[in-house]
Amino acid sequence: MSTTRRFPERIVAAFGESQVIGVRAGDAPHRFLAVWVVVVQGRVFARSWNDKPTGWHRAFVREKRGVIQIPDVREVRVIAKKPRGERLLSAIDRAYAEKYHTPASRKWVRGFKLARRKATTTEFVPR
């Protein structure tokens, strides 16, 4: 039995419906950065397009804690975790392809399947 905290169903639904959410690592006030988010098995994931030293992914690697801004819901305090397992990462690939299915999104969905971007996969859990 897992002891991982989970978001309430209405928050997970909001993640699933949102095309873009805002993320901010740490507790210091600064701007939110827009990211694409997917839900797999009731869990919330995002991938970084560029893994820059000053980017949101590296900030969450250093700080672990942060805030997510969900449109029409609220700001939610989170902890970032690194998901493990090829089956889960493949399910996240499929979730990106299903959610972001427009012709304009295809380039980005294909890019998220590359190993360097898969390595930035981040799971957000409530804190």
Name the residue ranges covered by the structural domains of the chain. 9-122
Question: What is the structure's pLDDT at 3?
Answer: 58
Spatial contact of 55 and 46, defined as CB atoms under 8 Å apart: no
Spatial contact of 71 and 23, defined as CB atoms under 8 Å apart: no
Class at the top of the CATH hierarchy for domain 9-122: mainly beta
Which of these, 10, 124, 9, 111, lies nearest to 67 by C-alpha position?
124
Question: What is the structure's pLDDT at 1?
Answer: 44
What pTM did the predictor assign?
0.92
d(CA 80, CA 60): 6
Average pLDDT for runs of 10 along the chain of length 127: 76 93 88 95 95 93 94 88 96 97 95 95 96
Question: What is the structure's pLDDT at 98?
Answer: 97
